[in-house]
Amino acid sequence: MKGVAFIFGFLLGTIPLLHGQSWLIQGNIENAEEGPVILASFYGDRFRVLDSMDTESGFFYFILPEDTPPGIFRIIYADRVDSIRTQNRFVEFIFNMENLEIFVASSERGPVPYFENSMENLVYSEFMEFELDYEAQLMSVYGQLYPIQRDNEDAAARYNAIQIERERYMDSITNLYPDLYAVRIMNAFRVPMIPGEMGHQERIDTLKKCFFDQALIDEPMLLYAPVYTFKLIDYLSLYKVDTLTKNQQEEAFMEAVDWIMLNVSREEELRGFVVEFLLEGFELLQMERVQMHLADHYLDEACESDIVELVLSRMEGYKKMTPGQQAPEIIIRDVEGKDHQLSELGHTYVLVLFWSSTCEGCRELLPELHDWYLTENTYDLEVVAISIDTSVANFEYLYKQLKPSWITSHEPLGWYGKVSSDYQVYATPSLFLLNSERTILARPGSFRQFLRAIKKLGG
């Protein structure tokens, strides 16, 4: 049957080739469960669903428009191995204006994609394997450098040799395949060489100043791959010190923000993305001083977008939505057509949650929170979950996966809906823990912060 499926897929593939207006992504998934196979693309800091189809045998195909930009894509599916069904399996690949044939095999490490004649994906997979080995070697030797055996000359020499080997590898691949998207990704992860003879703090201080020397944030096409998000987080981690007070940590992060923005090109799309990403991140960390620093110094440089406009208009309003203040009334209709009014729910506590299917933090939070809601909710707490997805299909896909028992409403106007405007929301997830009088008790930024807040109330 699989052979027949591939022959049929090849016949389908002749259509875009004849007309020259699209690209064919097709393949087979070993041990695939009957059901949907989803194609998702990456942009900025998240994946979004592009298309889906049902499969019976594991065969799938998708047709992409001719002008689809190169980037990292995902095939998401369910499989069954040794009688165990696993939902949301995925493999990633590079699409760069070529027809792709993919076979997804099962292994002890999880699904592994194999490609027919795709140099992009061959180079990319080899680089990822090289990086895993490089990191393992570097960390192993680093453990011999600091702090116990800091003066170990042999370890320092090996540490230096590992870094030199990586540079040579990158140079050789770049020389062989200078036009590949995979090479762009690889070169974006270049970092300065740090001598093994350096002490720990000297390494940190050097990286703070030189982190971007070999790879600026300067290529808009790399927004279609998870590159700059990792670079930003890696750089910010250099400034994270557990012994600092909150004010001191905010001061350190403001310094980091200034260094980051100094190393972002003047290209509007890139600067806009970086500002938005940092604003959302420091919102989750509840570091309002860093947010204000971003707003005061860099927001006017960023390209216009939903989040930027909302930050400008809502920053002051959101700051007032603090514990002790009364939250606005909510009157909504849930997905089953039933009307609800926040002040008349009759529960001791209410958690108002704003989410979006394109928000990776939301996709992690929702299942954890729902499990808690079903099994550990001894607090007479109701959840009012409001999706601000402007795409009905995206909302319905995640909602049907979770099938939550709490109150769920979909706001098709997204950021500009009445409730999200009333609550001054400009990032997801946004959570407000309220009592029966609608007094704000806490604004947790994560599931753990929610648990800490609710446990303080007693149960």
Task: Decide whether 2-116 matches 331-455 in CATH topology.
Answer: no
CATH fold group of domain 2-116: Immunoglobulin-like (2.60.40)
CA angle 308, 314, 316 (to 5 degrees): 125
- Burial, 344: exposed, middle or buried (Cβ in 10 Å; 0-12, 13-18, 19+)? exposed
Residue segments in the chain with a per-residue pLDDT below the cut of 70: 1-21, 146-152, 300-319, 459
Neighbouring C-beta atoms of residue 142, cutoff 10 Å:
16
Q: What is the pLDDT of residue 319?
A: 64
Token output for 186: 């690889």
> CA-to-CA distance for 187 and 180, rounded, in angstroms?
11
Q: What is the pLDDT of residue 30?
A: 95
76-112 burial: b if 16+ Cβ within 10 Å, else e: bbbbeeeeeeeeebbbbbbbbeebbbbbbebeeeebe
- Burial, 285: exposed, middle or buried (Cβ in 10 Å; 0-12, 13-18, 19+)? middle
Token output for 306: 């939903």
- Characterize the bridge pairing of strands 381-387 and 407-410: parallel
On the CB side of 156, CA atoms within 13 Å amount to: 14
CATH fold group of domain 331-455: Glutaredoxin (3.40.30)
> CA-to-CA distance for 133 and 137, rounded, in angstroms?
6
Neighbouring C-beta atoms of residue 397, cutoff 10 Å:
16
Q: What is the pLDDT of residue 142?
A: 84
CA angle 434, 280, 309 (to 5 degrees): 95
Whole-model pTM: value is: 0.64
What distance lies between CA 292 and its chain's CA centroid?
Answer: 23
Domain boundaries, the chain: 2-116, 118-215, 331-455
Do 28 and 1 meet the contact criterion of CB atoms below 8 Å apart?
no
Q: What is the pLDDT of residue 260?
A: 94
- Characterize the bridge pairing of strands 430-435 and 349-355: antiparallel
